[in-house]
Amino acid sequence: MSLPRGLVRQEDYLGLKSELLRNNKLFVDPDFSPGTSSLTFSGAQPRISGVRSVIWKRPRDLVVNPRFVKAGLSRHDLYQGVLGNYQDFDRDYAGLFRFNFWWYGKWVEVIVDDLLPTDGMQLIYARNRSDPDEFWPALLEKAYAKLRGNYEALDGGKLQDAIVDMTGSISEYIDLKDKSKIQNNLYDLVWKSYQMNSLMGASIHLPENANTPEVEMTNGLFMGHAYSITGIASVPYRGNNIQLLRLRNPWGRSEWKGDWSDHSDEIRNISQEARTKLGIVITDDGEFWIPFIDVLRNFDEIQLCHLQPDSLTSEIANDERKQNWEVTVYHDAWIRGLTAGGCGNHPYQDLYWKNPQFFVTLKDVDITDSSGLCTLIATLTEKEMNNKSTVAIGFDVYKLREFQRRPLDGESAPRNALILRKRSGIYEYNREVTRRFELDPGVYALIPSTFKAHDEAKFMLRLYTEKPADSELSASEFGESILFSLEAARSLVTLMDRNRSGALNFDEVVKGWNEIKAYKKIFEQFDKDGTASVDTYELSKLFSALGFTVNRQVQIAIVRRYGNRNNKIRLTDFLIVIFKLTLMFELFKEQQLKTGGNNDAASFTLNEYLYYTMYC
């Protein structure tokens, strides 16, 4: 999948900044211009109460002494504004800032200018509510709006999607709407997630007849708001242990008015030890404690985002009391005619087994659980096109016998003979579908699919376990470090299909992937600038390093077909060339033996020629 507009390499940012400083100019982003196209999908002026028109201003035009970060970062810095969603302004200021986001498995850098939407006097979106000189919230929001397309794309989105993009975490949500189905151990699950570095939130949905983006309830909570969960505690009170959550309103105002609120009898009457444990600060900062039972009564869902080791913030990374999740990441695709098998509904039941299959062996039970089970959190992420989920996605989890044949083909082990342990539930038009499973130790197959057969999309699958798990792939794993287009994926699958069956068996997948890794390693020796491309003038040496003898005429054809205007050939195209050359050599030798040709010749009929050239 192509990266969103505006994503740059570090050297591009530094070069651009040096050029601006040299010419004494301030950056104006050509990819995210200060106009209505950056504000809304339609390009029309957004409707904002009290704002006649949006005026784009730099921080220096709003305050005397702007700062990117002032006196450190805090969750209390952020005031959300009307949206639902170490750089400075002195030394080497050029009007551009950069941020890193986790975009479908890879950290990417986004640069923006510091022209921000205002009403002429103050920022109209994210800002520091108590210190208007601090601008990291507004600039971060602008970079995220650029990543997602515009500011409107941030309004009313899912909290967990934003946290995933900013941290690289894995998202999970717990539905609280049907109170009769809330699991009994939910508090323990939230506590366990908090201990394992998970970021959490809770939200109350708007009623269907609401005509405003928020509705205040009599208890001080707001419908239409996503609250962050910033703490969890259990404190003794009048002979009972009270389970509490600490929540924060992203608007930084209006708090819970019920039991255990800032001015409640409970807070006034607890011991000093309990007050210290809870860190009670009586102030209108939007943060408050609330009984867990009241969370269940009032909120519609809890969102959990589980951090992986390479996505920890400095605060969490330094907390040695907490443990980290083990994570395995796969990138793959549903490709029509190959792996887009659908969910198995009639009349495409047999195509179900063509979906990519992933195997995981759970051996060690959880550290934090005495039930003898293993936690597996699986998240399936569609790589959206134009920020839209185009297909409904889901997955099934089967328990296998140790000796069971892999990959599953529906013949040696029909679907009704397998042990279907878990499903992700209803297929959803969401970017991510995540489910948590508590499973017995054993071998499991996870099969992700679209609801409809033949629907095409790229996806990422992440598996989280408390203890390391053995996992393997039984489909076209093309590696998290190589991003293939669908066309490139089709070509490689076809070229690795040695028996020309139209699909890859397990041995072909393993062999093909090992070959890709070997070719990639040698390719990188010639990739001098780390751009995943090689100068076409180096092709002769590169082929020699791989043991290929390719004459000049063939090299010319390769360069004209696969080289770009800068005389570069990309890694993905190079891999296609290598597999194509290998297959063409094999077909030539095969035909040579069939027709009795000499060392340099083989004869083909017209139909044979057409068949082989179409296949290559």
Judge contact between 466 and 174, C-beta under 8 A. Answer: no
Query: Mean pLDDT in runs of 10 for the chain (616 residues)?
Result: 46 84 94 92 82 91 88 50 52 90 88 93 84 90 93 78 84 86 88 82 87 86 88 90 90 82 88 81 78 96 74 40 70 85 91 89 72 86 78 93 66 63 83 88 92 93 78 45 53 63 58 79 84 82 83 82 83 86 83 77 81 71
Enter the tokens of residue 3. 């990266």
CATH class of 486-615: mainly alpha
**pLDDT at residue 571, as a whole number:** 87
Judge contact between 382 and 393, C-beta under 8 A. Answer: yes
Enter the tokens of residue 390. 């185009």
Judge contact between 352 and 341, C-beta under 8 A. Answer: yes
**pLDDT at residue 589, as a whole number:** 83
DSSP symbol at 502? S
Q: Domain extents for the chain?
A: 7-155, 170-306, 326-473, 486-615
CA 403 – CA 333 distance, rounded (Å): 28
Exposure string over 411-440, b if 16+ CB within 10 A, otherwise e: eebebeebeebbebeebbebbbbbbbbebe
pTM higher than 0.85, yes or no?
no
Burial category of 387 from C-beta neighbours within 10 Å (exposed 0-12, middle 13-18, buried 19 and up): middle
Report in angstroms the alpha-carbon separations of 252 from 228, 364, 385, 498, 608: 11, 43, 34, 61, 72
Sequence letter at residue 545: A
Torsions phi, psi for 263 (to 5 deg):
-110, 25
Question: Considering only CA atoms, which of 21, 29, 250 is closest in space to residue 147?
Answer: 29
CA 586 – CA 109 distance, rounded (Å): 43
Judge contact between 202 and 247, C-beta under 8 A. Answer: yes
| For residue 407, cis peptide bond before it (omega within 30 degrees of 0) | yes
**pLDDT at residue 406, as a whole number:** 62
Sequence letter at residue 124: I
Enter the tokens of residue 501. 């069956």
The residue count of the chain comes to 616
**Cβ neighbours of residue 404 under 8 Å, at least 6 residues apart?**
413, 443
Of 225, 306, 331, 430, catalytic? 225
CA 283 – CA 280 distance, rounded (Å): 9
Is 346 a residue of the active site? Answer: no
Look up tokens 């106009």; give the residue. 35
At the fourth CATH level, which superfamily is domain 170-306? Answer: Cysteine proteinases (3.90.70.10)
Q: What is the pLDDT of residues 240-274, one digit of tens each?
A: 999 999 999 876 667 899 999 988 999 888 888 88
Is 249 a residue of the active site? Answer: yes
Out of 2.60.120.380, 1.10.150.120, 3.90.340.10, 2.60.40.3470, which CATH number does the structure's domain 326-473 have? Answer: 2.60.120.380
Taking the CA atoms of 353, 358, 359 and 360 in sequence, report the sign of the dihedral they define.
negative
Of 249, 324, 355, 430, catalytic? 249
Burial category of 448 from C-beta neighbours within 10 Å (exposed 0-12, middle 13-18, buried 19 and up): buried
**Cβ neighbours of residue 306 under 8 Å, at least 6 residues apart?**
169, 170, 171, 172, 193, 196, 197, 198, 325, 377, 464
**pLDDT at residue 44, as a whole number:** 84
**How far from the centroid of its chain's Cα atoms is residue 530's Cα?**
24
Torsions phi, psi for 264 (to 5 deg):
-80, 165
Query: Residue 52 in 3-state DSSP?
Result: coil
**Cβ neighbours of residue 201 under 8 Å, at least 6 residues apart?**
159, 160, 163, 226, 227, 228, 229, 302, 303
Burial category of 569 from C-beta neighbours within 10 Å (exposed 0-12, middle 13-18, buried 19 and up): buried
Burial category of 195 from C-beta neighbours within 10 Å (exposed 0-12, middle 13-18, buried 19 and up): middle
Q: Hey, how many other C-beta atoms are within 10 angstroms of the C-beta on 156? A: 13
Q: Rounded to 5 degrees, what angle do the CA atoms 433, 436, 440 make?
A: 135
Report CA Rg, the chain. Answer: 28
Pairing of strands 107-113, 96-102: antiparallel
Sequence letter at residue 533: S
**Cβ neighbours of residue 431 under 8 Å, at least 6 residues apart?**
158, 161, 381, 382, 384, 389
